[in-house]
Amino acid sequence: GLPATLITQASDAHPKPQGHKFTYGTAGLRTKADTLDSTCFRVGLIGALRSKKLGGKTIGLMVTASHNPVEDNGVKMVDPRGEMLESSWEPFCTAIANAETSDELVASLEKLVAHFKVDLSAPASVVVGYDTRPSCQTLVKAIIDGLSAMGAQTIDAGLKTTPQLHYLVKCLNTQGTDEAYGEPTEEGYYKKLANAYIKLVSGKGESAPLTVDCANGVGAPALLNLTKYIPAEHLSVRALRTATSSPNELNHGCGADFVKTNQCLPAGYDKEDVKAGERMCSFDGDADRIVFYYLKGPAGAKESFRLLDGDKIASLAADYLSELVKVAGIDLELGCVQTAYANGSSTKYLKQRVPVTCTPTGVKHLHHAAESYDIGVYFEANGHGTILFSASAQRKIREASPGSPAAQGALEQLSALVDLINQTVGDALSDMLLVEVILRARQWGPEEWDGAYEDLPNKILKVNVKDRFLFKTEDAERRLTSPAGLQDKIDEVVGKYKDARSFVRPSGTEDCVRVYAECAIASELTPLATSVSKLVA
């Protein structure tokens, strides 16, 4: 059975805040950092059990609250192939996190063990990573206490971006097999990306510097490290917002979420000497999201801010990869996966070119849907996404015999792209390099990229409600089934505006309901969004 005495003793040192309710949501368990000690300890216990269930395969635990403020923190579990925790475990995680006493905790763990038939005599191995938040230190200690109580082998990976942790997990589990993903070290990660990138851009000329907003988070040291492996002629970056030793600056007025939500430059960029036409991008706090942007218009005159978000990255990548596949002369189906937050213009653009599917919010859904294509391009509008190459696609790319020098070139590029793209999860560093590769190959600046389609004016509002769990959705979250009658009212409002779309769903990471609205005429956007919000509040 479970080492109940050890667990109880250790648990008494990590008491649960009375009455506090935790939920394993879209991004694992996430809330105010000062309430998370017991939860992290318990996630350590669960992590060990998850690994035992999988016969001792290494699983990952990442401590981060991504784009959220520095006072928040969270922990998410990573499965052996580098993917999010299998969703059937989520309700058990929630129940275990909410057990009020040590005895209830042991009972809830026993339920999990019985339900999933976990062999407690199996070994357990868990790798732990964390971002730059000051609260990470004690939370990681709590996790390690949980792992020790279960006798799990623990690898403390230290400061990592979320995608680096996913990479490590996959490498550790594939080492020495046919599917070996890479060297299971941070250095191995940089080398894999850098080598693929250098192959892809060699001989394509130099390019103007890229300004990168690192959100004052872990992306800053990671970017600095990455650039050590890439000669400056191939990648020249100007790294801004790199103040990781000033915790309050994390995601503060900067970062991918700030830029996407406010549709403007990071705060203070007016003093950073940015020029019209210059490529810029922002990471989020754990460097798994990226958005690009630039200023359009004559320098000095009134320039307009133009966002190149996850949808634009997906379109750029889908077009480029489709072309490569065609030139390579291989038969592979490329498809795109989006969520309801994708701009209507991007969906229209993509649907004219490739199959497109829509899933609920949260990368686990997108990732899963993307696996049904040979090449699955998935991006959330907020810049979280990646591209998956199925095993058979990778084999075809490796084994094809090219019919022409052009086909051979395309195959070589595809095979380098397989290595460049972090196929475990969205990765700001990897996605940044991918965009650089495509722009270089096309000899494009941001304006040419931006030319694919024009975004419909759009916004997302947060509405505070008494109980967000009363809001239930269907059709990939595009429609409400509850509260009764509300969807009809929304439809009625939306019907009054040109090319409008609006939907309402409960957030999986914050205590609020989100209202999305888009429509053809910019001046109608605020009236549309506020009318729908009023129906919800």
> Which of 288, 319, 380, 455 touches Zn ion by CB under 5 A?
288
Residue 268 annotated as binding site: no
Residue 472, phi then psi, degrees to nearest 5: -120, 145
Stretch that binds Zn ion, among 14-22, 31-39, 62-70, 344-352 (CB under 5 A): 62-70
CB 293 within 8 A of CB 308: yes
Residue 284 annotated as binding site: yes
Nearer to Zn ion, 43 or 439 (CB): 43
Residue 66 annotated as binding site: yes
One DSSP character per residue, 426-495 reads: --HHHHHHHHHHHHHHHT--HHHHHTT--PPPEEEEEE--S-GGG-EEETTTTEEEESTTHHHHHHHHHT
Catalytic option among 11, 38, 51, 66:
66
Q: How many residues line the site for ligand NG1 (CB under 6 A)?
A: 15
Nearer to ligand NG1, 185 or 262 (CB): 262
Helix (H) or strand (E) holding 158: strand 153-159
Stretch that binds ligand NG1, among 36-44, 51-59, 352-360, 505-513 (CB under 6 A): 505-513
CB 481, min distance to ligand NG1, A = 18
One DSSP character per residue, 357-422 reads: EEE-SSHHHHHHHHTTSSEEEEE-TTS-EEEEE-HHHHHHHHH---SSHHHHHHHHHHHHHHHHS-
* CA atoms of 253 and 261, how far apart (whole Å): 11
> Which of 386, 414, 514, 519 touches ligand NG1 by CB under 6 A?
514
* CA atoms of 42 and 341, how far apart (whole Å): 33
Tokens encoding 508? 């999986």
Residue 242 annotated as binding site: no
Nearer to Zn ion, 186 or 284 (CB): 284
Residue 64 annotated as binding site: no
Assess whether 66 carries a catalytic annotation.
yes
123 binds, among ligand NG1, Zn ion, none (CB under 5 to 8 A by kind): none
Nearer to ligand NG1, 508 or 527 (CB): 508
* CA atoms of 64 and 295, how far apart (whole Å): 32
Determine if 361 is a binding residue for ligand NG1 (CB under 6 A).
yes
Determine if 66 is a binding residue for Zn ion (CB under 5 A).
yes
Residue 201, phi then psi, degrees to nearest 5: -105, -5
CB 238, min distance to ligand NG1, A = 27
Nearer to Zn ion, 288 or 309 (CB): 288
CA 511 to chain centre: 20
CB 394, min distance to ligand NG1, A = 27
Residues that bind ligand NG1 in the complex, under the rule CB under 6 A: 26-27, 66, 341, 361-362, 380, 382, 384, 460, 507-510, 514
Catalytic residues: 66
Residues that bind Zn ion in the complex, under the rule CB under 5 A: 66, 284, 286, 288
